[in-house]
Amino acid sequence: MRTDTGQVINLADYQPTEFVLERVDLTFELDPTATKVEARLIFHRREGSDPKAPLVLDGDELVLSGLLFDQTEMPAEQYTATPASLTVRDLPASEPFELTITTVINPEANTQLMGLYRTGGIYCTQCEAEGFRRITYFPDRPDVLAPYTVNIIADKAANPVLLSNGNFLGGAGYGEGKHFGAWFDPHPKPSYLFALVAGDLGVIEDTFTTMSGREVALKIYVEHGKEPRAAYAMDALKRSMKWDEEVFGREYDLEIFMIVAVSDFNMGAMENKGLNVFNDKYVLADPETATDSDYANIEAIIAHEYFHNWTGNRITCRDWFQLCLKEGLTVYRDHEFSADQRSRPVKRIAEVRHLKSEQFPEDAGPLAHPVRPTKYREINNFYTTTVYEKGSEVTRMIATLLGKDTFKKGMDLYFDRHDGQAVTIEDFVKCFEDASGRNLAQFSLWYHQAGTPLITASGSYDGAAKTFSLSLEQMIPATPGQSEKKPMHIPLNLQLFAEDGLTIAPASVDGAEYAGNILHLTKRTQTVVFQGIPSRPVVSINRSFSAPINLHFDQSPADLALLARHETDHFARWQALTDLALPNLLNAARDAREGKAVGSEATFVDTLVAAAADESLEPAFRAQALALPSEADIARELGGDNDPDAIHAGRQAVMKQVADAGQDTFLALYDAMTTPGAFSPDATSAGRRALRNAALTYLAYAENSPARAKAAFDAANNMTDLLHALTVLAHRFPDRPEAFEALSFFKDRFSENALVLDKWFSVQATIPGAGTLDRVKTLMENPLFKRTNPNRVRSLIGTFAFANPTGFGRVDGAGYRFLAHEILDIDQRNPQLAARILTSMRSWRSLEPVRQDHARAALLEIERVPDLSTDVRDIVERTLK
């Protein structure tokens, strides 16, 4: 394990390499414990660079077993090799030279899952961000681009499939029982996009004809027997390829596009050129084993990785500080794809829910960092929701500010200008400035200032003057390393409504640029005056969530109810319903803490139940409306001194009140929202299932009995319904035999399916209450719990820590101590996984004092350990700061 070096990398220190890499030729002789890697690298010294400078290559736990210079052995005094670097001196001043580097690595022993490792009997690589240096010594940084040739030699019976990036050159037998395959990738790429896969795999095949008429072979490799479960992924891939041509004008650029699904993977998936490697969770699906949200995730992640071919691969990052250049943009692209494939407002609601529940807490806590950071200690810890999701929101704001056509012009310019390059955020933004003629300097603060802006708004209507004044103030909270913030350029989609629900168009607007519904907020405080307003308006601010901000705007329940009924933007309708719900949930948490009875406002309850029954609204929207803000959402809104038990009790009470008030509606929906006929994962059917299941949740509160959920469990013919019924039983009636029996039936039925077993672990990890910790510990003793499988570890330990506020956050601190213990154990094998799960502690300072003390003690227990990985050391120290 690479333990902490404590080195901080600064953006300001960026320098191009001294040497230019021209070509890479790799030969792998695969062996489970001793794979020989021969890397032939052709370099020349960069023009104008120091003619005496040595060549320094990166390594990580490497042992050099041979070094040739232009095919002859290199004298020992000319180089120094350590596990972490290879330094070569006295190299030619200008002419190209070839180094042949031989290393021997042990894939079987690679439990970090970075570099070349083994999973389910196959060889697989993961090189982003700095995994290639675990394979061979290399200038392992994203601004070193070269074409690669890859030769793979392996035992033929065990590894009939030999894959790498690019186009297949050919293969043949290679001595006794062995064979080889050769691949060439003509597109210069950085090492983080290298991939190799070898083993015995099943495959499904298809083709795609590109916009210029080229036929591309499409292959998805899975474990034998799982081929039928890859069909949906293939369909999503073809739709992604088509969409990228139609919407972004991007055509695929190799003869073949491959996806491999593996069961041990640290993240969701990886966009290696021409050879995407996926966590099998995001490839495999069938109605019996995958939920509607699994299908939606597969569609989104297949698209995301495919879209990286242009945004990430053809144009890549100059350095890792620019990670959002590829990630923020590609998330934006996959969001737009899903919005086009499904319901745009429902997709937007889901995105914003995710952003608020994951990114907002990150931005408000000790791990807050800018979308484009300026320093890091461990780059693996920067694959964050800030870089991804807030990065996507920043791209979305550029599109909002410029308008669709100009945004498209800017994107086209970006693809033209920077194809084949490794670039920066400044290069990206410049394309939009050039395409639009707009100065985006102030807007760029979104990349550089961390923290979620808070906008406080207040309005006043002058009936005599027929004007409506809106005062807006922006405040960007202090974040680690950034105490002072400048005002930002914030695009607010805004619309005025009359009391009858119709839109009002102002005659003119003073005090801010306002065009196409977008109000440009640029100053710390700004008063905007809308002229020619015939009656007191109801204002809808930040429609479609045009800016990722917190908004404080005191609106009466009656005004919110009007927006919930009449807003033409359905995202804003959902927002109004949420704004109606929130004060009730906050009060309920306060009342529960003080032992008072909880009561909900009639306007809120009635409006919510009416929305649920409103047949003019799509079912998926109604299901989103019924899913009240989560306990984590409530905690975030409360802001501090949080007591998870009180938040839970308060929310339960509100759920019960809504359930009682809407019982007839929920019964009617439960009966009506069936999906007869064969299962289809399409958005409309999924929406009906979501609404029916939301009704079931409320009915369990109203009826206070497991009977209906038990019947639903028995009748379910797809995983969405089955898992929902199981969750209702386990979470609402954990001590009843119905719950126990359903859990045991579920486990027996799916004991052979790892992805479904993950769900079984997660359902139990999220049972509310202090008793769940013991349940989690017992589950860890179950032979089905596999410590070496990241999905399994996340499904039990990760889910418990991230998604069970009352169980994990029990008042005696045992949950935090348990986590500390497990993090130290996981860190021994897989630092990335350990560090990621540890980020579940990011909001510890917003707990009430007793829990805070326990949380701090648990963090200190981790910090005290001397041989932590860099990954965990970095997270624990920043979390404690």
Q: Select the span of 262-270, 334-342, 428-436, 558-566 touching ligand 0A1 (CB under 6 A).
A: 262-270
Tokens 């045992």 belong to 814
CA–CA distances in Å: residue 19 to residues 38, 297, 872: 20, 41, 33
User: Which one of ligand 0A1, Zn ion, none interacts with residue 480, CB within 5 to 8 A by kind?
Assistant: none
Specify the length of the chain in residues: 881
- Asked if 270 is part of the footprint of ligand 0A1 (rule: CB under 6 A), the reply reads yes
Select 324 or 429, whichever has its Cβ closest to ligand 0A1: 324
Instruction: Out of 269, 445, 551, 649, name the contact with ligand 0A1 by CB under 6 A.
Output: 269
Kindly tell me the number of DSSP H helices and DSSP E strands found in the chain: 30, 34
Q: Select the span of 103-111, 134-142, 322-330, 477-485 touching Zn ion (CB under 5 A).
A: 322-330
Instruction: Out of 305, 336, 362, 758, name the contact with ligand 0A1 by CB under 6 A.
Output: 305
Q: How far is the CB of 324 from Zn ion (least distance, A)?
A: 10
Q: How far is the CB of 802 from ligand 0A1 (least distance, A)?
A: 19
Q: How far is the CB of 795 from ligand 0A1 (least distance, A)?
A: 18
Residue nearest to ligand 0A1 (CB): 267
Tokens 């497990």 belong to 822
**Dist. CA 824–CA 828, nearest whole Å:** 7
- Maximum CA extent, the chain: 95
Select 128 or 336, whichever has its Cβ closest to ligand 0A1: 128
Select 270 or 576, whichever has its Cβ closest to ligand 0A1: 270
**Dist. CA 631–CA 649, nearest whole Å:** 10
Q: For residue 195, give the nearest of 276, 105, 114 by alpha carbon.
A: 276
With beta carbons less than 8 A apart as the criterion, state whether 445 and 524 touch: no
Select 327 or 874, whichever has its Cβ closest to Zn ion: 327
Q: For residue 13, give the nearest of 483, 384, 376, 279 by alpha carbon.
A: 376
- Asked if 264 is part of the footprint of ligand 0A1 (rule: CB under 6 A), the reply reads no
With beta carbons less than 8 A apart as the criterion, state whether 339 and 558 touch: no
Residues with Cβ within 8 Å of 128's Cβ and at least 6 positions away in sequence, in order, are 192, 193, 270
Instruction: Out of 101, 150, 267, 683, name the contact with ligand 0A1 by CB under 6 A.
Output: 267
Q: Select the span of 31-39, 256-264, 265-273, 602-610 touching ligand 0A1 (CB under 6 A).
A: 265-273
Contact code string over 585-624 relative to ligand 0A1, x by CB under 6 A: ----------------------------------------
CA angle 632, 332, 526 (to 5 degrees): 70
- Asked if 126 is part of the footprint of ligand 0A1 (rule: CB under 6 A), the reply reads yes
Residues binding ligand 0A1: number (CB under 6 A): 12
Footprint of ligand 0A1 on 369-388 (CB under 6 A): 383
Q: Select the span of 90-98, 169-177, 261-269, 401-409 touching ligand 0A1 (CB under 6 A).
A: 261-269
Select 317 or 728, whichever has its Cβ closest to Zn ion: 317
**Dist. CA 174–CA 29, nearest whole Å:** 11
User: Which one of ligand 0A1, Zn ion, none interacts with residue 269, CB within 5 to 8 A by kind?
Assistant: ligand 0A1
3-state secondary structure 576-632: HHHHHHHHHHHHHHHHHHCCCCCCCCHHHHHHHHHHHHCCCCCHHHHHHHHCCCCHH
Q: How far is the CB of 268 from Zn ion (least distance, A)?
A: 8
**Dist. CA 424–CA 414, nearest whole Å:** 11
User: Which one of ligand 0A1, Zn ion, none interacts with residue 383, CB within 5 to 8 A by kind?
Assistant: ligand 0A1
Alpha helix positions (H), 269-424: 292-307, 323-341, 344-354, 360-363, 385, 391-402, 404-418
Q: How far is the CB of 269 from Zn ion (least distance, A)?
A: 8
Q: Select the span of 151-159, 179-187, 266-274, 583-591 touching ligand 0A1 (CB under 6 A).
A: 266-274
**271, 305, 336, 358: which one is catalytic?**
305
Tokens of 537: 């308006």
- Asked if 389 is part of the footprint of ligand 0A1 (rule: CB under 6 A), the reply reads no
Q: Select the span of 164-172, 328-336, 370-378, 474-482 touching Zn ion (CB under 5 A).
A: 328-336
- Asked if 266 is part of the footprint of ligand 0A1 (rule: CB under 6 A), the reply reads yes
CA–CA distances in Å: residue 547 to residues 191, 402, 494, 684, 715: 35, 14, 11, 28, 43
Number of C-beta neighbours around residue 215 at 10 A: 10
Instruction: Out of 128, 130, 378, 559, name the contact with ligand 0A1 by CB under 6 A.
Output: 128
Tokens 């929701």 belong to 385
Q: How far is the CB of 361 from Zn ion (least distance, A)?
A: 21
Footprint of ligand 0A1 on 314-343 (CB under 6 A): 327
Footprint of Zn ion on 76-135 (CB under 5 A): none
Q: Select the span of 260-268, 409-417, 495-503, 508-516 touching ligand 0A1 (CB under 6 A).
A: 260-268
**Dist. CA 272–CA 165, nearest whole Å:** 7
Instruction: Out of 271, 559, 569, 618, name the contact with ligand 0A1 by CB under 6 A.
Output: 271
Query: What phi and psi, each to the nearest 5 degrees, are found at residue 471?
Result: -100, 130
**Dist. CA 132–CA 24, nearest whole Å:** 13
User: Which one of Zn ion, ligand 0A1, none interacts with residue 718, CB within 5 to 8 A by kind?
Assistant: none
For this structure, is 305 an active site residue? Answer: yes
Query: What phi and psi, each to the nearest 5 degrees, are found at residue 177?
Result: 70, 5
Select 330 or 526, whichever has its Cβ closest to Zn ion: 330
Select 708 or 794, whichever has its Cβ closest to ligand 0A1: 794
Tokens of 496: 């005025």
Query: What phi and psi, each to the nearest 5 degrees, are found at residue 842?
Result: -60, -25
Tokens of 418: 């920077």
User: Which one of ligand 0A1, Zn ion, none interacts with residue 270, CB within 5 to 8 A by kind?
Assistant: ligand 0A1
Q: Select the span of 179-187, 263-271, 563-571, 769-777 touching ligand 0A1 (CB under 6 A).
A: 263-271
Q: How far is the CB of 421 from ligand 0A1 (least distance, A)?
A: 18
Q: How far is the CB of 825 from ligand 0A1 (least distance, A)?
A: 20
Q: For residue 130, give the nearest of 380, 390, 399, 436 by alpha carbon.
A: 380
Q: How far is the CB of 237 from ligand 0A1 (least distance, A)?
A: 15
Residues with Cβ within 8 Å of 783's Cβ and at least 6 positions away in sequence, in order, are none
With beta carbons less than 8 A apart as the criterion, state whether 514 and 531 touch: no
Q: How far is the CB of 300 from Zn ion (least distance, A)?
A: 11
Select 128 or 244, whichever has its Cβ closest to ligand 0A1: 128
Select 126 or 839, whichever has its Cβ closest to ligand 0A1: 126
Select 268 or 734, whichever has its Cβ closest to ligand 0A1: 268
Q: How far is the CB of 304 from Zn ion (least distance, A)?
A: 6
Tokens of 304: 């995301």
With beta carbons less than 8 A apart as the criterion, state whether 620 and 626 touch: no
With beta carbons less than 8 A apart as the criterion, state whether 239 and 297 touch: no
User: Which one of Zn ion, ligand 0A1, none interacts with residue 467, CB within 5 to 8 A by kind?
Assistant: none
SS3 at position 266: coil
Q: How far is the CB of 311 from ligand 0A1 (least distance, A)?
A: 10
Q: How far is the CB of 64 from ligand 0A1 (least distance, A)?
A: 25
Tokens 């949906």 belong to 232
**Dist. CA 111–CA 126, nearest whole Å:** 12
Footprint of ligand 0A1 on 182-221 (CB under 6 A): none
Q: Tell me, what amino acid is at 708? A: R
Select 25 or 128, whichever has its Cβ closest to Zn ion: 128
Q: For residue 196, give the nearest of 269, 125, 105 by alpha carbon.
A: 125
Tokens 């999924």 belong to 686
Residues of this chain that interact with ligand 0A1 (CB under 6 A) are 126, 128, 266-271, 304-305, 327, 383
Residues of this chain that interact with Zn ion (CB under 5 A) are 327, 330
Residues belonging to the active site: 305
